């Protein structure tokens, strides 16, 4: 059962990446982040995003963002996102273990 969950999680990321990469907006760059969730905030752990030339690891997802609102309800979000001054076409997917929200995955291409 756990292997099936991992497969479904991988597919939930591959399909949006494939769709995003196939869009005319894709310039060959792909942003990705693994978020942890502490019950209040989604915190960037591993990320390709940078802020002022430094890794954005340790920064939080904006609590007022559409992505935050969807993820906190264990729902995916697909749409525009502006992160650290850069506009993206983004896809966020919640990570859930035993019914509990544990984090999120993010992939995006710059606009």
Domain residue extents for the chain: 2-110
Closest by alpha carbon to 91, among 78, 72, 73? 78
Per-residue pLDDT tens digits for 59-78: 999 999 999 999 999 999 99
Output 35-38 pairs: Cβ under 8 A, ≥24 positions apart. Answer: 35/61, 35/95, 35/103, 35/104, 35/105, 35/106, 36/102, 36/103, 37/71, 37/95, 37/101, 37/102, 37/103, 37/104
For the segment(s) 2-110, the CATH number from 3.90.800.10, 3.40.50.2300, 3.50.50.60, 3.30.450.40 is 3.30.450.40
Whether the predicted pLDDT of 49 surpasses 60 = yes
CB 108 within 8 A of CB 90: yes
Rounded to an integer, what is the distance from CA 36 to the centroid of its chain? 11
State the pTM of this model: 0.76
């Amino acid at each position: 059962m756990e292997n099936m969950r991992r497969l479904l999680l991988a597919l939930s990321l591959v399909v949006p990446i494939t769709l995003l990469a196939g869009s005319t907006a894709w310039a060959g760059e792909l942003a990705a982040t693994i978020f942890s969730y502490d019950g209040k905030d989604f915190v960037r752990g591993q990320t390709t995003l940078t802020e002022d030339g430094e890794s954005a690891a340790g920064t939080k997802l904006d609590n007022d963002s559409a992505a935050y609102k969807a993820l906190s309800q264990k729902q995916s979000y697909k749409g525009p996102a502006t992160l650290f001054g850069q506009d993206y076409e983004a896809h966020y997917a919640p990570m859930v273990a035993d019914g509990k929200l544990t984090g999120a995955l993010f992939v995006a291409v710059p606009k």
